[in-house]
Amino acid sequence: MDINFFEKISGNIKYNEPMSAHTTFRIGGAADVFADVSSADEIRALINVCRENKYPYMIVGNGSNLLVSDNGIRGLVIHIGKNMSGVRAEGERIYAEAGALMSAAAAACLENGLTGFEPMSGIPGTIGGGVFMNAGAYGGEMSQVIETVTYLDKTGEIITEECEKLGLGYRKSKFQNGGYVILSCVLKLKSGDKNEIKAAMADYRARRNAKQPVTMPSAGSAFKRPEGYFAGKLIQDAGLRGFRIGGAQISELHSGFIVNTGGAAAVDVDALIRHTQKTVYDKFGVALEPEIRRVGDW
């Protein structure tokens, strides 16, 4: 198909866009076409064109848990970001578009004296990504505060569903089955004391800054928590703390993180993930499942 056709649908089209600029790992080759979308109608129109022409596409947000191939991404990347990032409070609810950062939702909670979102306040992703992964931290997760999610279904219809119907579990949701596009969500919180909310957010931020490599490019926790274990402790006990392949390294601060020490390639990270999985399994018989999503042309 003539990829220039996308310009008739969206005014924010780029070609050969480096995905290293759109992932927190700062890694990834170029996407053939990149659209920074502004509305559900625009997303639907882009997807319809892709489907009609059997042209591949994928949805990305802040790229905070993505490992994009060095070869880039074939097809269209639909980026839900700053152009769909509205956040507003009404009573005890926060209405947030999918492209809003989790930190923006946290700021709205604090400003309006709403409690319940504090554990997630420092997660470096978008609301859409948070719903997609049922993101969580410090014992809290999105499923505890989501009331409804509005999304495009596989036919292009806009659906709003309650939390109980979204298949939310540990780092999973029904949206991971493919064909859906998260547009927005409503968070149901409780009225609280602003000073207590501020103190709790500051405490979580201080704990995160002290124990996680927040100053280095990463994709957050590299592995899901195995039942009965902590991934970081298993990796450290396996002797892998600080171990590196190319520019990718098991963080010396927290062994559950893989960091880009500068100039890391996706193949470095991929090799380090596999080496870590094999080493931990050989030593402890525990299979580590990556939390990082591997995407693109591998």
pLDDT tens digits, residue range 244-271?
Answer: 999 999 999 999 999 999 999 999 999 9
Q: Are 173 and 166 in contact (CB under 8 A)?
A: yes
Domain membership of residue 207 (yes or no) is no
Average pLDDT over residues 108-132: 96
Residue 3 pLDDT > 80: no
Instruction: Indicate whether 153 and 256 sit together in one domain.
Output: no
Q: Is residue 249 part of a domain?
A: yes
Domain that holds residue 71: 3-82
Provide the pLDDT confidence category of residue 293 given band limits of 50, 70 and 90.
Answer: very high
Is the residue at 123 inside a domain? yes
Sign of CA dihedral 86, 87, 89, 90: positive
- Provide the β-strand partners of residue 94: 89, 187
Express each pLDDT in 77-89 by its tens digit. 999 999 999 999 9
Decide: helix, strand or coil at residue 82. Answer: helix
19 and 45 fall within a common domain: yes
- Phi, psi values for residue 62, rounded to 5°: -80, -5
In this predicted structure, what is the pLDDT of residue 108?
98
Mean pLDDT of 57-73: 96
pLDDT at residue 99 greater than cutoff 90: yes
Structure tokens at 191: 């009225």
User: Which positions are catalytic?
Assistant: 171, 221, 291
Average pLDDT over the chain, rounded to an integer: 96
Predicted pLDDT at 97? 98
Q: What is the pLDDT of residue 5?
A: 84
pLDDT more than 70, % of the chain: 100
**More confident: 15 or 4:** 15
pLDDT digits (tens, 9 = 90+) for 17-30: 999 999 999 999 99
CATH of residue 282's domain is 3.90.78.10
Nearest to 67 by CA among 27, 30, 32, 17: 27
Count the Cβ atoms, other than its own, within 10 Å of residue 70: 19
Residues pairing with 248 in the sheet: 245, 260
